[in-house]
Amino acid sequence: MFFKKEKEKGKEMAEEKKTPKVLIDDTEYDYDALSDTAKNLLGFLQKLDQEIKEKRFSLDAALLARKQAVADLKIEIE
């Protein structure tokens, strides 16, 4: 009986760990407890964050290409 309770206790702890958490302004929320609107907004924010990362990458690539083009131009005109 003791082992069964320990297994059940371990199972409960594992289930608690599976519950996704969301951190917003240093406050943690259970994802499952959020409204559908809040979940949709979180998904929208995740997509926006991904777009920002992609645009930063593109901007960094363009800035690097520009820097190289300026260096190539300096060599060409000297």
Query: Per residue in 8-66, pLDDT tens?
Result: 556 655 555 688 999 999 999 999 999 999 999 999 999 999 999 999 999 999 999 99
Q: What share of the chain is helix, strand, coil (3-state, %, to 5)?
A: 80, 10, 10
By the 10 Å C-beta count (0-12 exposed, 13-18 middle, 19+ buried), 70 is classed as exposed
Q: Which pTM does this prediction carry?
A: 0.64
Q: Domain extents for the chain?
A: 1-33, 35-78
